[in-house]
Structure 1
């Protein structure tokens, strides 16, 4: 019976390590997916997002994503800077999201931001 418990525990630990690996893996698809909740505001400049709205919940989710790994803030920053380039006419709307939502990402969303700091 003792060896069976060890196998079960080892299997559980392996499963948890896979879950941890998934949650710490950050890519721009995740960031874009979160920001997509703010599409109306980014595209049209209104209505202003408010704390508790799906958009602001998503912006708050960026903090969780950034905090999930050591390089998370840099990855989120780089992805957002890429969005600024892609959606250049709407870059100001993207940059104002944290302020409207009362969220601090730890960096300023600005084309001149150095994400390597």
Structure 2
């Protein structure tokens, strides 16, 4: 139905956005000490998802996930960067750990460690 087409369109839009982000990041490489791409990139399914795959493919090997470059100790959230509202069917409490926020760095950047801290605003 239309929901399926809308979802496919949104997924394709996220993939194209990922490609554009990485194109701009690659354009910034010449002359830069380091380039960092990070944010809420809506990489549903994390490493298995189409958006994450598009990010890495478009990086053409010039960028790496910080999780692959240094230890990732558990800081209270495992690797999850998504919480959601408890009433939402996609919340962490129901779906389990999910990571929608990513950080990619240009090759040659030394990552000492990376973690998602368990902190909440009061």
Q: Please classify the TM superposition score into its range, dividing by the shorter chain length.
A: 0.3 to 0.5
State the structure with more CA Rg.
Answer: 1
Q: Taking structure 2 as the reference length, what is the TM-score of the superposition?
A: 0.35
Q: Taking structure 1 as the reference length, what is the TM-score of the superposition?
A: 0.36
Say which structure is richer in strand. 2
The structure, 1 or 2, with the larger RCO (C-alpha pairs under 8 Å, 6+ apart) is 2
Say which structure is richer in helix. 1
